[in-house]
Amino acid sequence: MLDAAVVHRREMKLTLWISMFIIGLCTLVAIFSPWIMPHDPTEFVTDEPFGSPQVGIWLGSDYLGRDLFSRLIDGTRTTLVMALAATALAHLLGDTLGLLAALRGGWVDAVISRVADLILSLPKIIVGLVVVAALGPSIVVIVILAAIVYAAGVFRIARALGSDLVNMDFIKVAKSRGEGTGWILFAEILPHVAQPLAADFAIRMSFAILFMSSLSFLGLGVQPPLADWGGLVRENLGGLAAGSLVPIFPAIAIAVTSVALNLFVDSLDEHQRKQKGTR
């Protein structure tokens, strides 16, 4: 009994370390990608498409004979920067509006909540299809699209967290003093909800990676020759029939990073609760 509990605790710790390692690695790769790529991602390194792995071309070559390893590294930067930008924007929008709706209530809350409901009720990929068809597949359009789509979910969480606080007496004190909305939202309420919102940020980012990869897989994302992970899967999909493993690698990158972000939040939460419990 006791042993099992100890092992469980060590496992939790291990998942925290593993997830942090993966996230850290991805971050470093994204930051230093120009220096660690062995080849230019647009350079042709083999004569034939889907060349087998060899020294210097560690993961083989893609459908045009370019070094997949270098393209994967370059794609890491594209994927993470876009996901980060979209998530940051979603949180900026969702947190502000969510706390505002909680604080104000009434018609402000009603209007924003219905808009959020509307966004949440639409299938994301179909919306993406329509928007990209109308505005073109530029990075800015895709990031803003993802931000708005995910802001609705963030809004709901921020509003729920805020609703628990707005009736606390310290908010009434601030109101009776005549404090402005900005002060109440960001100085009084935000410190109380920052931790769960930060956890949401990590999970939301994994969603954003999946969403934007899906768009790219459908050909609605960033356009060649630039490619994110989803785009790399799409480009090289034909290789599967030819017996090449090339499209598998970017797919693994997508899966591993999303899982790592989720594990990170889970195990961090567990870790903090344990520390609180033993204190």
Residue ranges binding other proteins (CB under 8 A)? 168-170, 172-173, 175-179, 187-188, 191-192, 277-279
CB of 164 to other proteins, least distance (A): 11
Cβ nearer to other proteins, comparing 130 with 274 = 274
DSSP assignment of 78-111, as one string? HHHHHHHHHHHHHHHHHHHHHHHHHHH-HHHHHH
Among residues 8 and 172, whose Cβ is nearest to other proteins?
A: 172
Q: How far is the CB of 173 from other proteins (least distance, A)?
A: 6
Structure tokens at 245: 């493993």
Q: Compare residues 3 and 169 and give the one whose CB is closer to other proteins.
A: 169
DSSP track, 125-143: HHHHHHHHHHH-S-HHHHH
Q: Which residue carries 């009994």 as its tokens?
A: 1
Give the nearest distance from C-beta 245 to other proteins in angstroms.
51
- Single out the residue of 143, 137, 162 nearest to residue 221, CA to CA: 137
Which one, 160 or 187, has the nearer CB to other proteins? 187
- Residue 69 in tokens: 């390893």
Per DSSP, the three-state class of 123 is coil
Give, as one character, the DSSP assignment of residue 136: -
Least distance (Å) between residue 157 CB and other proteins: 19
